[in-house]
Amino acid sequence: MQFSEIKGQEQAIHIIERAIQTQHIAHAYLFTGPEGVGKKKAALAMAQYLNCTGKAPESTQSCGSCPSCIQAQTGSQPDIIVLEPDGASIKIEQIRALLSKVSLRNYDSVYKVILINDAHLMTEQAANCLLKTLEEPTDNTVFILITSQIQNLPITILSRCQQIQFHTLSPSLIQEILLQHYPAQQSRIGLTAALAGGSMHTAEELLANDDLAQTRQDFYQLLAKLDTMRPAQIISWCEQWDKNKKMARTLLELGQLWYHDVLLTVMHSDNGLILNQDYLAELRTQHAAPEHLLHVLQYFRTAAEQLEYNASPRLVLEVVLLKTQQLISK
């Protein structure tokens, strides 16, 4: 993995490359940002670069062909260690085993690079165990913690890492990448990119989800008649998503696209700007006030944020739909 392969994260990559150029490599980094935007790829690219033996002077790209780079690309470089959660958490036993490897001499590399993916899943005991090493780092060892939920990491860990922020990808960039890799699914790619929430990982999952079209149809049918439904019907419909955070996130994205198009329709905007072209007839039956629709869009954005902070998917959907019904019925 090389930095040039990571798209849409120019600012984060620039910070990493600047540290490399000035030889100011921190002993611990925290790559933070949404899921599926390139954090782990950037960490692997940095690990590969630090131990590359064939890179050109002044270059911030690894050569990709030396023995270390080839091992890094196949996941067999012994001085690049990747720790993943064991089930729903990273346990203290995993951190202890990791630190025992850190204490050993490097095999044949300048740096020992430790990647801890989903670091926010460390148990309290695991985080405290790691903290001791972060407080007294060994020479030529670099820790890269990766997280999409920085709020769930202890402040003691945060204070000992240099944080590098990664951002969501634009729908146009996601669409471009998907077209390169999945040209046979061109008809679905535009909608998929719009629903992905800035995440390539989410986009690829959605593209592989054959049930998405039916879910979208069912949800849009509900939204089209939302103002006539009884609250009990809305609550009942939301129950099916009680444990499905991923689909709840998709529904909130769909809701934002729907009310974006409703707003354009009631304002008699150019139909070419409407994202859900196959629902033009249904969109034209909606008659909410523009100022109310702006509030509805904010409701859905806020609901999406609440979902990321581990709120109940069912409850989040219930609240946003009931609030929306109340507002658009005025």
Predicted confidence pLDDT, tens digits, the chain (330 residues): 888 889 999 999 999 999 988 889 999 999 999 888 999 999 999 999 999 999 888 888 899 999 999 999 999 999 999 999 998 899 999 999 999 998 888 888 889 999 999 999 999 999 999 998 998 878 889 999 999 989 899 999 999 999 999 998 998 999 999 999 998 888 788 878 887 878 898 888 888 877 777 888 899 999 999 999 999 999 999 999 988 888 898 899 889 989 999 999 998 877 777 878 788 899 999 988 999 999 999 999 999 888 877 778 999 999 999 999 999 887
In which residue are the tokens 């990493």 written? 16
Q: Which domains does the chain have, with CATH numbers?
A: 3-165 (3.40.50.300), 210-328 (1.20.272.10)
pTM of the entire predicted model: 0.74
Task: Specify the 3-state DSSP secondary structure of 112.
Answer: strand
Vertex 329 angle, CA 324 and 330, to 5°:
110
Cα atoms in the 13 Å half-sphere on the side-chain side of 42: 29
Rounded to 10 degrees, the C-alpha dihedral 330/306/32/1 comes to -80
